[in-house]
Structure 1
Amino acid sequence: MTRFLTKVTAVAALALGLVGSMTEALGSMAPYNGTLCKNYVNYEVWLPPNTTVADIEGSLTKQGITSSQMSQLTEACYEPFMEYVCSTSFPMADPAGGNTYNVRFGCMSTCQNAFTECSELFTIFNQTAAIPKCDAPIPGSTVYLPPAGVPFQPDGSCNVVHAIQNLGPTGIGNLTAQCDAPFVTDPKTGPGGTTANAQYCMNGCCLPCPAQYSLYRTGALETGFTITNAMRAVSMVLSFILVLSYLILDDKRSHPSALILFFSICVFLFSVVIIFPLIDTRGIQCADLINPSTQQNNLKCAIQGAILVFASVATCGWCTALILNLHFHTVWNSAWFAKKYWLLHILCWGYATAVTAVALGMGEIQWDFATLCLVSQAKAPQIFFYPLAAMIFPAFLVHIATFFHIARISTQAGADSETMSRSTLSAGAAAAISHRRHVMMAIRIQWRAALMAVCAMVSVTFYWLFYFIQLRKINPLTLQNNIIKFVYCLKVGNAHNYCADQLSPFLPPYGLMIAAEFVVSSIGTVIFVVFFKPALIREWGEKFASLGYLMTGRRREVKEQDQFFVI
């Protein structure tokens, strides 16, 4: 398209008369019957002598101005530029008597609007000749009278056109730009040599995968996600230690410690997926140079994403079990869950399996941000977050009810004197005191489970809110027009960090993005701090001491010596 948009209105200015906003001119007045401006021209147009609408559109076609070429413009540029082309190519005519007509020419404001919306785009694609020059005469008007040409006219006395119906383009077509870093040349690996990915590629240039890394300051996301990856790796190790503790140590596999064991297993699975990006971060994020990973084009992404979805749902399931167990034990003095573990296994593991199967069955596991694959942004609410909400919010309400009960009982316990012997109390008063003691004992025993439930719910809710409110900003279609400004900023020689700062208001805040990822990455560390109490250290010491005696034979020797004292 070497002559793209040059001499935009050369023919439109044929046989112009005197300079003025409404010029009396010879020629003819005719209805518009062309195709290029059919959605903009709904008035009688002025035609120079011996000229037809087809002649004008034919000249525009030779210059590269066609419907297909115009559809290559961005949505922001398309309409202003079409208004500019149509208003100057086809002036409005009113009869002035005889064979003369009052002619309204193009508006200065229309030219300026087209310049504002399109100059960056034309600069990017090296089409500077197409940029409207509003301080110069209407292109081509100097060929005829007056010799100085006709300038663009002021508002109120000029040819104003607007789209009759919104038929703007959906994006940019096959124009080719010179690719400035961080953009790379489109490898065109699609069917038939088409673009690799229409969301990330435009006019022969593509944002390399992972695309978001190029839109923030240099190295910012790499550094931030390295920190969150390290945090998740620490969580993996600490949660594994907690799993071993509750799996190996005596009396830790019975109710209610078993709830903590299964919860810890889920958190370990939630954290262990960090092994995938630690081995090859880009191998999880990207299928190739341009395309982000999906379960269809990257098996590692499918496996890692499935584990993460399963572990996330299962973690919330066992967290809900902890909350309900605390409620039943504290409020109702019931150990109902102690005999219903078969039901908990069916609900928690089964529910997580069902959600994971739906995500995989619908093909919605993919990479969107950070370093891990999860459910796609488009389907995450229905497939992932709503199933989590079905557990989290009811559990949260139950948790609040439990703590209101604890607060009420604690207040009563402080107000009532229990110095009186139980023999002097009525049966009702004795029962009330017994319940208070039970509640206070329950909270002393299970405060760790209560605290962990609150931490887990806060973490999930914070991440969920970030996902809903902020992450959608990073969608390529949402960013399209702002990406144009980013490319232009680079094109005119500005530094990458400067251009990233200009783009930052349209992206998720950097600090909030890292905070959201850090919060969920630290869950394993939090449960370790909460549940790994000093008693576990003593029990590990005793366990290692017992193993030492067993391995060295000293235990048998002591028993052989003790048998004489037993006798």
Structure 2
Amino acid sequence: MSNLTAHRGACLAPFLDLSTFQSTNGFIAGRFCAPADQILPGTVCCLPCPSAEWLYPDSFSTWSLVAESINAVSIAACLFLLVSFLCLPVEKTRRHYLSVGLVIGTFLMALGFVVPLAVKPEQCYDEITPNDMYSSLTCAWSGAFITSGGLTVAMWIFIRALSMHLQICWDVLPGKRFFYAAQGLGWGVVAILFTCTITFTGVSFRFGDACHVNSAHSLADFWGPLLGIAGISAIIQLATFVYCIHVYLKNMWSDEKTETNSSAGLPSYTSSVRMQSARAVYRRVRKVLWLQWRGILIVVFILIDVIFFSIVFVYLDAMENASHDDIKSLTPWILCLVSNPENKEKCFQYAEKALVNKETIIAILIMLSLAGIQAFFLLVRGSMFTGWVQLIGEKFAHKSEFVSLDARRFSADARTFELLNQKPRSSILKSPTSTVTSPTETYNSPIGRSTPDYFQKEITREYRSPTLSFSSPRAPQASPNAVDWDPRSTHARGGLGFHPVMEDDTVMENKI
């Protein structure tokens, strides 16, 4: 930058004369200028760039750097979730398209704050003009990531809140139609709003190293839709909470009524059905809440961040527009700077009264930085780490099996490849000796009686084939008292009994 004294002109320090700057590049609307007719008619004096250094103390830059560092951690956490969703099986990650869309949004928003941390961009085009997305490529990428990430997070929070409301309050399980509608809202509407914001509003360096949405037309293009989406999500989530409380109280009331009726007498059929219905609804809601508690906490935390972020920026834009229209609100701060051009710390208290104070801006930056870390702790599962351990182990583990090369010389049979002491094949195939053998000595009891030796001699019996055995084809023998029966005499169906097949392949009739 050139010497500031050359641009001082008729203005008092630390302000610079606008007439000494002829450049039309940079974000002209971002100049902090005001007419100084009391000094010289037609004179316009501007605050040196960056204006945030004159509005907030030096510690603000430190906190901005801290927020950017936290966003770097958020990026690492979001990358771990996204890569886990992509590489690990679904039983390890429990991935869902609602979670994937939300993590992508937080990743984009954190990336917008990390890009300036790595590049260290120049915030000002000249001594009084900040850079915008047309004069700084870093500003363009940073602002695009922050804008698209904020819209994506808000939209997917709305879709998640709606999904939980349908499941809990209406017992409707979102299907394919909801999936396609969610994709259209989560990406289509976001793309439209992002295009309108970048085209008609733009981004520039306002405070810190990251670029934010400009104030002109921002309420219609960005902050209005963002607040509308967040407001509808908050209403849906609040209605879900009210319904859960109603179900819980109704279940407690039905339990108390059951105890009262059991002591006074049997309840009526209608009241009994109502009690059972209340208990069934309570069990269903409790089960859904147990399965969706992570999603509920994510919706609550991110909604708080988005609503607080939007309200503060809308208020900041309104205060900046009001200060440009009515310079009297900034008169104490301007007079303080003129009186103390080398000691700006004495004037910060007046600037914070006219605009947003430092603590609120720092709170916004920290809350947005923590969005990715919050999503990580609520969506990560222990099975993800075990899944990565198993995946890495399968990729790098060398499975080697020791087999003796000399084993093939002895036999081609796979059973002889054992390295144990092998026995001859004849001994392996030999039938085992019977365990029931005749003992050679008797057992003497304490009273002197000996157990008779029933196994002294090996008893063999001749095998006799049963008479009615049909293990081999054999014609049945007729009993001497049997009476022949002809099924044709009674018109009965023959062939229902057992028909042994003879050697000549004929079938004999049953005889009794």
The TM-score with structure 1 as length reference comes to: 0.58
* Cα pair distance change 1:432/1:553, threshold 3 Å: farther
Q: Indicate the residue corresponding to 1:512 in structure 2.
A: 360
Map of 2:106 onto structure 1: 267
2:312 match: 466
1:445 offset after TM fit, Å? 0.9
| CA shift in 2, pair 1:553/1:340, >3 Å | farther
Q: 1:337 to 1:197 in 2, by over 3 A?
A: closer
- Say yes or no: does 1:188 pair with 2:21: yes
CA-to-aligned-CA distance 1:426-455 (integer Å, 9 cap, x gap): 766545433221110110110111111111
Partner of 2:222: 384
What is the alpha-carbon distance in structure 1 between the residues aligned to residue 222 and residue 34 of structure 2?
Answer: 29
Aligned to 1:229: 68
1:187-241 alpha-carbon deviations (Å, 9 max, x no partner): 624369xx99864487697533221112333x12212211222222222222222
1:541 to 386, 398, 408: 386
Tell me if structure 1 keeps the 8 A contact 2:337–2:344: no
- Determine the C-alpha separation between the residues in 1 that align with 2:352 and 2:239: 43
Q: d(CA) in 2 for partners of 1:197 and 1:402? A: 43
Match of 1:410 in 2: 248
Shift of 1:354: 0.3
Matched position secondary structure for 1:453: helix
Equivalent positions of 1:479-518 (< 5 A) are: 481-482=331-332, 484-490=334-340, 495-518=343-366
From the superposition, tell whether residues 338 and 429 of structure 1 become closer, same or farther in structure 2 (CA, over 3 Å).
farther
- Alignment correspondent of 1:134: none
- Report the secondary structure of 1:233's partner residue: helix
What secondary structure does 2:299 align onto? helix
Q: 1:310 to 1:542 in 2, by over 3 A?
A: closer
1:210 matches 2:55: no
Identity, % of aligned positions: 19
Per the TM alignment, residue 350 of structure 1 is displaced from its structure 2 partner at its CA by: 0.6
Q: Could you tell me which residue of structure 2 aligns to residue 346 of structure 1? A: 184
Which residue of structure 1 aligns with residue 396 of structure 2? 551
What corresponds to 1:301 in structure 2?
139
1:270-281 correspondence to structure 2 within 5 Å:
270-281=109-120
Question: Aligned pair in 2 of structure 1 residues 252, 205: CA closer, same or farther (>3 Å)?
Answer: farther
C-alpha distance in 2 between matches for 1:261 and 1:255: 11
Contact 2:49 2:129 in 1 (8 A): yes
- Superposed CA deviations along residues 388-431 of structure 1, whole A, max 9, x for unmatched, are 133222221111111111112222334445999xxx99766545
Mapped to 1, the partners of 2:273 and 2:338 lie a distance apart of: 83
Q: Secondary structure at the match of 1:377?
A: coil
Which whole-Å deviations, capped at 9, do the CAs of 1:244-277 have from their partners, x for residues lacking one?
3333332269987321122111111111112221
Q: Counterparts of 2:401 and 2:126 in 1: how far apart (Å)?
A: 62
Residue 433 of structure 1 is matched in structure 2 by: 279
**Alpha-carbon separation, structure 2, partners of 1:344 and 1:403:** 22
| Partner amino acid, structure 2, of 1:213 | E
For 1:190, give the aligned amino acid.
S
Distance 2:24 2:227 in 1: 41
Sort the Cα spacing of 1:416 and 1:556 in 2 relative to 1 into closer, same or farther, 3 A: farther
Secondary structure in structure 2 of the residue aligned to 1:333: coil
Aligned-pair RMSD on alpha carbons? 3.8
**Residues 314 and 351 in structure 1, CA contact (< 8 A), matched pair in contact too:** no
Query: Aligned equivalents of 1:273 and 1:436: distance in 2?
Result: 44
The alpha carbon displacement at 1:458 in A equals 1.1
Equivalent position of 2:443 in the other structure? none
Please tell me whether residue 373 in structure 1 is matched to residue 223 in structure 2.
no
2:298 matched residue in structure 1: 452
Look up the SS of the partner of 2:289 in the other structure: helix
- Report the Cα distance in structure 2 between the residues aligned to 1:211 and 1:510, rounded to whole angstroms: 14
Alpha-carbon distance change, 329 to 262 in structure 1, aligned in 2, over 3 angstroms = same
What one-letter code is carried by the residue in structure 2 that aligns with 1:308? I
* Pairwise CA distance, 1:342: 2.0
Distance 2:49 2:311 in 1: 25
Q: 1:251 aligns with which of 86, 90, 109?
A: 90
Residue identity opposite 1:176 in structure 2: A
Superposition pairs of residues 152-163 of structure 1, within 5 angstroms: none
CA contact (8 A) 2:70 2:370 kept: yes
Structure 1 counterpart SS, 2:204 = strand
Output the amino acid matched with 1:540: F
Q: Is the 8 A contact 2:116 2:142 kept in 1?
A: no
1:242 to 76, 81, 97: 81
Match of 2:10 in 1: 176
How far apart are residue 326 of structure 1 and its match? 0.7
Residues 486 and 434 (structure 1 numbering): CA distance in 2 closer, same or farther, change over 3 Å?
same
The whole-number CA distance in structure 2 between the counterparts of 1:546 and 1:212 is 49
Give distance in 2, aligned partners of 1:483 and 1:524. Answer: 38
The answer to whether structure 1 residue 527 and structure 2 residue 367 are counterparts is no
Contact residue 166 and residue 172 of structure 2 kept, 8 A:
yes
Name the CA distance, whole Å, in 1 between partners of 2:87 and 2:210. Answer: 31
Q: TM-score, normalised by structure 2?
A: 0.64
Q: Structure 1 counterpart of 2:337, which letter?
A: V
Pair 504,540 (structure 1): closer, same or farther in 2 beyond 3 Å: closer
Q: What stretches of structure 2 of length at least 5 have no aligned partner?
A: 36-42, 263-268, 403-414, 416-512
The 8 Å contact of residues 308 and 364 in structure 2, kept in 1 or not, is answered as yes
Separation (CA, whole Å) in 1 of partners of 2:213 and 2:316: 16
Q: Is the 8 A contact 1:266 1:312 kept in 2?
A: yes
Q: Is the 8 A contact 2:204 2:213 kept in 1?
A: yes
Structure 2 CA distance for aligned equivalents of residues 307 and 208 of structure 1: 28
Q: Specify the alignment match of 1:25 in structure 2.
A: none
Q: C-alpha separation between the residues in 2 aligned to 1:382 and 1:526?
A: 30
3-state SS of 1:366 partner: strand
Partners of 1:196 and 1:377 lie apart in 2 by 9
1:15-40 Cα deviation digits (max 9, x unpaired): xxxxxxxxxxxxxxxxxxxxxxxxxx
What is the CA distance between 1:365 and its match in structure 2?
2.4
CA distance in 2, matches of 1:191, 1:457: 40
The CA distance in 1 between the partners of 2:22 and 2:287, in whole Å, is: 66
Distance in 1 between the 2:94 and 2:207 partners?
A: 39
Q: Tell me the equivalent position of 1:220.
A: 59
The aligned length equals: 375
